[in-house]
Structure 1
Amino acid sequence: MEMRAVEDARRWLAERGVVEAGDGWADLEESEGPLTANEIAHSWVSEAFADEGLDMARQLRLAFGLLDLLDDYWVTCEIRFADRGSKGPLSADVLWDGYRRRLEADRDAEAVTYSLWVDWFEDRDTAATAFAAVLGNDIEHIVTEGSDASLRRAARVLACSGPVPWPVKQKAYDTVVRLPALHGSLFKGLLASYHDLYGDLEPTAALALLAQLQLPAGTSHLMELRSVLTAGHTSEPPPA
């Protein structure tokens, strides 16, 4: 958690009459009862991108602070709307640094990984840029001399990388094979590449990677994945 960003976000909300109240939130200008973090995210994150007292980079940093404070997926939706909207694109350096920092943090990152998976990675217009920014550009450095934080980031990205087009992620996958500490996460990526609705893989190359992984005995779905890849399947067939 970026503590300064959190405090800036808390202060920004308080200036607008929105404060923490018990286990929820209160809008001092409204008479409604306690509000959830999700309700605050829906009501206020878009306002951060409309704050004319802040330049675009500071608006984005404020939004990331709101993400840390509220821990709600909707904040990431508003960030993407701003990037893809009429005022976008946002500063790529600030945007992807914000994602990397939260992927490396020693705290739950579900909102961030879910955002990558269903928004940035499933969209063919953004998948390559997003994957490169959060992992592909520095995977070689991570594998050879990565810190605990960067390994945490790599593990999280690999696990949700199923929808990333195979040509985009194959080099990173090939590199990760050299580091057994990431084999479990790479297996999750391969499994998702087969099972996800928008998953993408090349069965021969994926099978070769699977053969190199050091996984615990009895790893769930390992035999099944090996079988379908051997048969040349690229994705799970739809239900009848």
Structure 2
Amino acid sequence: METARSDRTRQWLAAHDLDTEGDPNDAARDLMPEIRADEELSPADKLEVGLGLLEILGAYWVLVELRWLVNADESLWTTYWQAIREYLEQAPSEAILYSLWNDWFEDIETSERAFTEVLGQDFQDKDPDEAFLRRATAVLKVSGPVPWKVKFPVYTAAAEHERLRKAVFSGVLYSFHDVYGSLEIAPALELLDRLDLPADTEHLTELREELAAGHANQHHRD
């Protein structure tokens, strides 16, 4: 997905005699420090040029450095998360999903706020459009590390939408399998019942058995 941000970033690259050739992550490691060090760019401009570079390269390392930038300046949060929501509503890249899971959701300092930004505040609409369904599906599948008290109300709301039930199941499943997964057994079992999935759904029987045996996480069995 490329937008006007991409055009602006290409202009910035040309003005500084830089290019994006080579491995995308190597290019990101070279270019992002240049963007962040450009004193002619305001913090908001650095974010816009960085987001444009993400659109061009699709590289995870762009997101690593954007996270540093955003965490250092509260004023950038709204723009950053609006952009991430928009990207998630397209065909979300593996880099964005990995960044959400590994960088934002696994960090106890940012997990709740990040999850709220990308999904947790948006279930008021009873008839979500296709873009929202794509975003919700993507986020639910990587939400394993998000604290249960934060994500359970969202899981419950998402379970009301038939097209999101498999994604909710994935969220519960990876809450169990993720090293940093967060899950409470009784409400998780009740939620699985509400999903009304086919009995032959892959991993459903095994997950029920593990939860019924009192195991909230495969890595932390008593």
Q: State the TM-score, normalized to the length of structure 1.
A: 0.87
Shift in Å at residue 50 of structure 1?
A: 2.4
Shift in Å at residue 79 of structure 1?
A: 0.7
Moved more, 56-65 or 148-157: 56-65
- Report sequence identity in percent: 41
Q: Supply the distance in 1 between the matched residues of 2:51 and 2:88 (Cα, whole angstroms).
A: 12
Structure-2 residue corresponding to 1:67: 54
Quick check: 1:76 aligned with 2:58?
Answer: no
Shift in Å at residue 51 of structure 1?
A: 2.2
Structure-2 residue corresponding to 1:209: 191
Structure 2 unmatched ranges of 5 or more: none
Deviations along 1:170-201, one digit per CA (max 9) or x if unpaired, are 11011011001001111110011000010000
Match 2:150 to one of 162, 168, 171: 168
**Number of residue pairs the alignment of both structures matches:** 221
Shift in Å at residue 217 of structure 1?
A: 5.0
Q: Supply the distance in 2 between the matched residues of 1:10 and 1:137 (Cα, whole angstroms).
A: 34
Shift in Å at residue 46 of structure 1?
A: 2.4
Structure-2 residue corresponding to 1:89: 74
Structure-2 residue corresponding to 1:31: none
Deviations along 1:43-88, one digit per CA (max 9) or x if unpaired, are 1112222222222222112111111100011110001111234xx2
Q: Which amino acid aligns with 2:89?
A: E
RMSD of equivalent CA atoms:
1.6
Structure-1 residue corresponding to 2:139: 157
SS of equivalent residue, structure 2 residue 123: helix
Quick check: 1:5 aligned with 2:5?
Answer: yes
Q: Supply the distance in 2 between the matched residues of 1:154 and 1:180 (Cα, whole angstroms).
A: 12
Structure-1 residue corresponding to 2:201: 219
Structure-2 residue corresponding to 1:37: 24
Match 1:233 to one of 207, 215, 218: 215
Does structure 2 retain, via aligned residues, the 8 Å contact 1:164–1:200? yes
Does structure 1 retain, via aligned residues, the 8 Å contact 2:199–2:205? no
Does structure 2 retain, via aligned residues, the 8 Å contact 1:140–1:175? no
Q: Supply the distance in 2 between the matched residues of 1:214 and 1:179 (Cα, whole angstroms).
A: 12
Does structure 1 retain, via aligned residues, the 8 Å contact 2:25–2:61? yes
Match 1:198 to one of 180, 187, 201: 180
Q: State the TM-score, normalized to the length of structure 2.
A: 0.94
Does structure 2 retain, via aligned residues, the 8 Å contact 1:163–1:199? yes
- The structure-2 alpha-carbon separation of the partners of 1:57 and 1:229, relative to structure 1 and needing over 3 Å to count, comes to same
Shift in Å at residue 232 of structure 1?
A: 2.0
Moved more, 228-237 or 73-82: 228-237
Q: Which amino acid aligns with 1:163?
A: P
